[in-house]
Structure 1
């Protein structure tokens, strides 16, 4: 008896790299600028700043590093708190802890998954009355949907609190006509392997503040003083991006719009398949014209379908398709047990009901067809 064929696993968002990336890396190697910096880093920073409508960009080893440095320069530290959405990846909250500050979690708007402006207003009012020093608010652009900065920025301004935009998931998206990464005192991008574009690992700090950018460059290169010998007057970090990785980034940036288009087409495929299917909806579908479609998710309503999000994950796994629940809320993570949270239950419901589906621009039509076959069978039961 022959065994059934083993299917290659369909991944959520594999890196989309090819000949152009190889060409750029070879050029970087041949230039002699191997590490740690070089002309391709300079060019990458200039092009990313222009793309995101910012005055300055600092190429770093990760988006987490960008958050860390931005928060440090805005005064986050022991004795202060930083307000973070509870529906996010751990890196957002971890960067707060790196500074010595304490994260305070605020729930999301259930329709978008992004920070709830009304609840943020309430949280800042309560914290202010208590005399708590709030160093910053860090909205997160969830799955490529920009947070509601038109509402969030005035609220933060009224309380005198700066904003650091976590745009790790939203490069290429727009909010009220403005590119992702442009709102706030600073913003952080991620070029991790699963993001819209990648440098293998890497990130970017964006700002219009020349002083903040200069400090980020200084701290990210071990805070070395301008002396002939190694002189250090404060603690620094090894956070800079290499010239080789910047070469990958430049090639990816050339192809960014093409990759965005492919992710959009995948979302439209899922949306068409699920249109009119009771109990299933594409998350963030309403008003998604300016989203980058980094990850497309489905919300499963068990009260309508008698099926659960966990059932869908199991069905995908049986077909060798990667899927996962939406982010587990930070206030439910063991590492943040006991943390302060302003919650409505929205993030918990999305965690229980949301499933992210394969969305990467490198996925083939056949791979997306396999995902759709699972969805069709699952929704037909």
Structure 2
């Protein structure tokens, strides 16, 4: 008696792997997890104190569906100061994490059968979100030599009269690739030409190691009008469990998103929202320290990976992942349906290292590791992978 749409939905690989790792650890097995995309830092103290203060001041009643005014003002200032794009308060909607922000946006824009272009490799939930709201995901092949970044030629090759939107994830999960301003302008021109919305998932924009980061909406007033910027506090402020994300879009879209959210969940937890106010206004130094640490780990990880002849990778300029090409090992192991799943299972069973199979991101030759973990565990995990490969 379940909904027919669930027949085409794939369970989350990352959550499934995390559950298996927890079970193995509970059995006392020494597992190094390089799989989950969660900061290993703790929520900054100022954010926690702000939440505690909100509880004691009884700030626990219903509030606006679009989010607390104080938080939207903090987001408004952040977008202006850090991303060089100006939004009115009624163009910002605070949601229960970036996933919820994306889902609200899809519900507001898509009719049944509308197509959404999703460049490969993609974050695991994008196609499933599109399918759940009745849209059709169009998975776009990209090129390794271009860090798997979509080009105007790639995009134009799959546009139809049903194309409504394209996802641009910048920096990328799983590759860590960062689009340049020039690359984004070229993509913007195609989207303006064909009247296509851009969903700009910029959840990792603070975790960026390039000299500068360009937010798509900042390119022009036309860019801002067709772009829905999605961001949040989970990655930048280590606030995954607080579940705060947001969208910034044109007034018409923001009103629709707020209306949808008002009917489905009312609004995010007020306590989480007050914590987020402090995160955006008082925790800049702590966030910068996290980014510095991620960069140090990135540098150590690539040095270690360079010692493994059978592997290559996309050099990450942002986020905290490395997307590793293991295709040279395809004939070294026995597999049937999916090389990356079998390879990942072998790493877990024999090397006691958890990674995410690339098929979760639409690329079966690859695995993804995360360096949002203790540095010693990261290097030991890579050492175990190297040892496992040498033993094949």
Query: Take 2:132 and 2:201, find their aligned partners in 1: how far apart are those partners?
Result: 16
Deviations 1:247-303 (A, max 9, x none): 4434555232222222222111111112254222232x1xx4xx3232223222326
Corresponding residue number in structure 1 for 2:143: 109
Q: Helix, strand or coil: the match of 2:94?
A: strand
Question: Measured at CA, do residues 46 and 13 of structure 1 come closer, stay the same or move farther in structure 2, by a change above 3 Å?
Answer: same
Corresponding residue number in structure 1 for 2:118: 84
Deviations 1:46-91 (A, max 9, x none): 3543434443332101323322333455x42135322223532353
Corresponding residue number in structure 1 for 2:306: 275
Query: Take 1:48 and 1:67, find their aligned partners in 2: how far apart are those partners?
Result: 20
CA contact (8 A) 1:81 1:102 kept: yes
Corresponding residue number in structure 1 for 2:367: 355
Question: Measured at CA, do residues 326 and 248 of structure 1 come closer, stay the same or move farther in structure 2, by a change above 3 Å?
Answer: farther
Q: Helix, strand or coil: the match of 2:382?
A: helix
Question: Measured at CA, do residues 282 and 84 of structure 1 come closer, stay the same or move farther in structure 2, by a change above 3 Å?
Answer: closer
- Answer yes or no: is 1:138 the counterpart of 2:164: no
Q: Helix, strand or coil: the match of 1:139?
A: strand
Deviations 1:335-379 (A, max 9, x none): xxxxxxxxxxxx5xxx2222222311xx32332232133144235
- Answer yes or no: is 1:296 the counterpart of 2:322: yes
Deviations 1:323-343 (A, max 9, x none): 1112535xxxxxxxxxxxxxx
User: Cα distance, 1:168 vs. partner?
Assistant: 4.0
CA contact (8 A) 1:114 1:139 kept: no
Alignment of 1:1-381 (within 5 A): 6-7=29-30, 9-10=32-33, 12-15=36-39, 16-18=41-43, 20=45, 21-37=47-63, 38=68, 41-50=71-80, 51-56=82-87, 57-73=92-108, 75-78=109-112, 80-111=114-145, 112-124=147-159, 127=160, 132-141=161-170, 142-143=172-173, 144-147=176-179, 148-173=183-208, 177-180=212-215, 182=217, 184=223, 185-191=227-233, 197-200=238-241, 201-207=243-249, 209-222=250-263, 237-238=264-265, 240-250=267-277, 252-253=279-280, 254=283, 255-275=286-306, 277-283=308-314, 285=315, 288=316, 291-302=317-328, 306=332, 310-311=342-343, 314-328=346-360, 347=362, 351-360=363-372, 363-378=373-388, 380-381=390-391
Question: Measured at CA, do residues 281 and 85 of structure 1 come closer, stay the same or move farther in structure 2, by a change above 3 Å?
Answer: same
**TM-score of the aligned structures, taking structure 2 as reference length:** 0.70
User: Cα distance, 1:119 vs. partner?
Assistant: 2.2
Q: Which has the higher helix share?
A: 2
**TM-score of the aligned structures, taking structure 1 as reference length:** 0.72
Query: Take 1:196 and 1:9, find their aligned partners in 2: how far apart are those partners?
Result: 24
CA contact (8 A) 2:118 2:140 kept: yes
Q: Helix, strand or coil: the match of 2:51?
A: helix
Question: Measured at CA, do residues 70 and 19 of structure 1 come closer, stay the same or move farther in structure 2, by a change above 3 Å?
Answer: closer
Q: Helix, strand or coil: the match of 2:258?
A: helix
Question: Measured at CA, do residues 35 and 49 of structure 1 come closer, stay the same or move farther in structure 2, by a change above 3 Å?
Answer: farther
User: Cα distance, 1:174 vs. partner?
Assistant: 8.1
CA contact (8 A) 2:244 2:276 kept: no
Q: State how many pairs are aligned.
A: 328
CA contact (8 A) 2:120 2:148 kept: no
User: Cα distance, 1:306 vs. partner?
Assistant: 4.3
Query: Take 1:164 and 1:314, find their aligned partners in 2: how far apart are those partners?
Result: 36
CA contact (8 A) 2:43 2:238 kept: no
Unaligned runs of 5+ in 1: 223-236, 330-346
Query: Take 2:85 and 2:193, find their aligned partners in 1: how far apart are those partners?
Result: 23
Deviations 1:127-168 (A, max 9, x none): 2xxxx2322222233324345423321122222222222334
Query: Take 2:228 and 2:272, find their aligned partners in 1: how far apart are those partners?
Result: 23
CA contact (8 A) 1:63 1:168 kept: yes
Q: Helix, strand or coil: the match of 1:123?
A: coil
Unaligned runs of 5+ in 2: 1-26, 334-338
Larger mean CA deviation between 11-20 and 156-165 belongs to: 11-20
